[in-house]
Structure 1
Amino acid sequence: MRGGLGIYIHIPFCKQACHYCDFHFSTSMAKKDAMVLALQKELELRKNEFGSEIVETIYFGGGTPSVLTSQEIDRLIRTVYDNYQVSQTPEITLEANPDDLVSVRAQSRTIFADYIDSGINRLSIGIQSFFDDDLKLMNRAHNAREAENCISEASKKFENISIDLIYGIPGMDDKRWKKNIDKALTYGIPHVSSYALTVEPRTALAHMVKKGEVADVDEEDAGRQFYMLVDIMQANGLINYEISNFGKEGFFSKNNSAYWQGKKYLGIGPSAHSFDGARRSWNVSNNSKYLKGIDEGRLLIESEMLTTTDRYNEYIMTGLRTIWGVSLQKIASAYGAVYSNYLTKQCREYVNQGLLTFDDDILKVTKKGKFLVDGIAADLFFLEKK
């Protein structure tokens, strides 16, 4: 029985660098044409890597995939269809920024019509905030007006739309955060991904915080705003199916859900990761080296074989973040009784504190434990004795 395959295509370009971002990208578009050709070639070079697995999802991430023209995106999608078996109803997602989507016009035809013609059926739009002060602090390329115009235009063509929102932004009080949530809901958006602002090392934001130009993220504020989000989304019919993701029935991200459930995926492009069920691999995180390697027909990939403990720990980390939780029966059968017995013992403290709960043999995080889930999961990891 085939488990299905996801293809992730990393577009390593952005118009400008957001102050909080530590993903792999370049603000120079000089190599964009060569990169698209290289992505096509990598898709061709790796077409037999996952055997006869059926492609169920195609996801354009980045970077900013919407900096590509609709013709370039179409070429990449066609390359997938030419080299892989694709399901009849794949989920094809494009991450996009509002400024790209509202600035492109071809006579009376919008960019959204071109996307639909290419097969894209889901948009993930990086709104982050509907307030200019927040957007300027984060150095986003769009403004609040473009954010609203983008959603209005996209909604005319797409039913399956997700938007990103960020909470815990210094200077954003609870009142403004609630307005952000309410604004998203007025558009009837069926999916929202929301993340706490994080000060990552070696980012512009980290530098500004260190110099005192921007206040550090307040964990108490972030936690309170997270629970505001959970309550409001639930009241409006959006299910918190993963800690950072909320969707109406039928609108959960198939691509992301497959990742959280341990399914296989192929990562294309510089810095992209792949997983075949037992081995994890990743492409070189350097555009020039990637392009040179592909041009020479070489894949610059590093990989590691996951141990039983690695796979158990990853299952704990991803499973506890979802509504599907962690199955003790699955742990016992897939990893062994040592792991299931360890988890049963290790989780007792959190169950007693009301942070975790058992539903039959399924261990799940409670509402109270959601904001703390990554720390809880880390404490449940199995540590190899040295």
Structure 2
Amino acid sequence: MSGIYIHIPFCKQACHYCDFHFSTSMEKKEAMLGALEKELMLRKGEFANEEVETIYFGGGTPSVLTSMEIKQLIDAVYANYTVSEDPEITLEANPDDLTNITLSTVEGLGTNVFEVYLQAGINRLSIGIQSFFEEDLKLMNRAHNAQEAQSSIREASKYFNNISIDLIYGMPDMSDARWRENIQKALSFGVPHISSYALTVEPKTALARFIEKGVVAPLDDEVAQAHFNILLKEMEAAGFESYEISNFGKPGYFSKNNTAYWQQKKYIGIGPSAHSYDGVRRGWNINNNPKYIKSIGKNELPMEVEVLSNTDKYNEYVMTGLRTIWGVSLEKINAENGPKFKEYALQQAQKHIEEHLLYIDNDTLLATKKGRFLADGIAADLFMVNLS
């Protein structure tokens, strides 16, 4: 299995917590679309023997593109790659783009935006709700309001079965009761997938400045952990499986795109700041729109590449594996990295096993419910730094 990720580096406005690469100016949108198409063509040789099973539009805000522009990029994938018969094609969308659509944007392909997306090839929507409360949305500087959050899901559900929504927890002044209400509101729409993330303070974001100046209260790790525990309980009761720390799916609705990342499948990242992985190397494109466009225009890939060492591969496997229900296979470490790495992993894991944060089942290291929220820190304890 392999996938293609396409980064759309445009947003209407900057969310206060976001440090992803984007621009609020659409001035270079046409040139960017041309560059994205060309990068797809320039890199087709990387997947000459691969079948593409997932196409994912991320950002930024992919739903700022018109339907024809999205179709144009999907057509470019089909023109240059071998695509499976039933690929998962996901579009990240903001609620305001799904509720404030005009017929002029639809461009004759359908009577509403959802029909147009379906005709363009999109079969999975990931809607950036984040919260159903107005005060949370204002704090985050989201472009949509609470009413649009609800109406976007309600309307999308008439056309799409495969819908995911995003929620954020651990926000300043968010009580346990309000977080439960957010979860229950999300569940009331019957969507089969929910992604939920703890609010984090990234350097150089507006949120970081607000906290530094005392405008917003500092984030509390204990609150975030309490919210995570509530999330696990509520989602499990609703029949969802926590197949990765931040991702909950009904049976048959796990994200194929995200699962491929965690299981270290191959993928190509198209667009500024996009990352790629081929099993041996990792690459990342420059995170500058004008420089990206200029480089692609000269048939040059604006990408830095790192060849992964045996230690790098081990560390990445541990980091991703502990976050998932599939865990970290000690047999796989032994086979792919060597017995010293397996011995080291077991040695480093022992204290976490004694603290009931990890356990071993069928020669696989797994995080307990208590350990799930701490998985990234536990993984760091298992990282290898002195073997090649």
Q: TM-score, normalised by structure 2?
A: 0.97
> Cα gap change, 1:217/1:228 in structure 2, threshold over 3 Å: closer, same or farther?
same
Are 1:381 and 2:383 counterparts? yes
Query: What residue in structure 2 maps to residue 227 of structure 1?
Result: 229
Query: What residue in structure 1 maps to residue 337 of structure 2?
Result: 335
The DSSP-based 3-state class of the residue aligned with 1:192 is: strand
The DSSP-based 3-state class of the residue aligned with 1:368 is: helix
- The structure 2 residue matched to 1:351, chosen from 341, 353, 364, is 353
- The structure 2 residue matched to 1:102, chosen from 99, 103, 110, is 99
> 2 CA distance for matches of 1:232 and 1:374?
22
Single out whichever of 104-113 and 63-72 deviates more from structure 2: 104-113
> Which amino acid in structure 1 is aligned with residue 175 of structure 2?
D
Matched residue pairs, number? Answer: 383
Query: What residue in structure 1 maps to residue 107 of structure 2?
Result: none
- The alpha carbon displacement at 1:217 in A equals 0.8
> 2 CA distance for matches of 1:225 and 1:91?
31
> Which amino acid in structure 2 is aligned with residue 51 of structure 1?
A
Q: TM-score, normalised by structure 1?
A: 0.98
> 2 CA distance for matches of 1:52 and 1:95?
28
Deviations 1:103-132 (A, max 9, x none): 113288210100000111100000000001
Are 1:78 and 2:80 counterparts? no
- The structure 1 residue matched to 2:11, chosen from 1, 11, 14, is 14
> 1 CA distance for matches of 2:297 and 2:263?
35
The DSSP-based 3-state class of the residue aligned with 1:369 is: helix
> Which amino acid in structure 2 is aligned with residue 161 of structure 1?
I
- The alpha carbon displacement at 1:299 in A equals 1.0
> 2 CA distance for matches of 1:258 and 1:226?
24
- The alpha carbon displacement at 1:384 in A equals 1.5
What percentage of aligned pairs have identical amino acids? 64
Query: What residue in structure 2 maps to residue 193 of structure 1?
Result: 195
> 2 CA distance for matches of 1:238 and 1:110?
30
The DSSP-based 3-state class of the residue aligned with 1:189 is: coil
- The alpha carbon displacement at 1:57 in A equals 0.2
The DSSP-based 3-state class of the residue aligned with 2:26 is: coil
> Which amino acid in structure 2 is aligned with residue 347 of structure 1?
A
Query: What residue in structure 2 maps to residue 180 of structure 1?
Result: 182
Deviations 1:59-111 (A, max 9, x none): 00000000000000000000000100000010000000000111113288210
- The alpha carbon displacement at 1:385 in A equals 6.3
> Which amino acid in structure 2 is aligned with residue 104 of structure 1?
I
> 1 CA distance for matches of 2:185 and 2:269?
34
Q: How does 1:191-340 map to 2 (within 5 A)?
A: 191-340=193-342
Query: What residue in structure 2 maps to residue 46 of structure 1?
Result: 43
> Is the 2:196–2:246 contact (alpha carbons within 8 Å) kept by the matching residues of 1?
yes
- The alpha carbon displacement at 1:345 in A equals 1.1
Q: For the aligned residues, what is the CA RMSD?
A: 1.0
Deviations 1:257-316 (A, max 9, x none): 000001000000000000010000011110000011111211111100000000000000
> Is the 2:314–2:333 contact (alpha carbons within 8 Å) kept by the matching residues of 1?
yes
Gaps in structure 2 of 5+ consecutive residues: 105-109
> Which amino acid in structure 1 is aligned with residue 204 of structure 2?
R
> 1 CA distance for matches of 2:120 and 2:387?
52
Runs of 4+ in 1 over 6 A off after TM superposition: none
> Which amino acid in structure 1 is aligned with residue 232 of structure 2?
V
> Which amino acid in structure 2 is aligned with residue 47 of structure 1?
K
> 1 CA distance for matches of 2:46 and 2:88?
21
> 2 CA distance for matches of 1:229 and 1:168?
11
Are 1:156 and 2:158 counterparts? yes
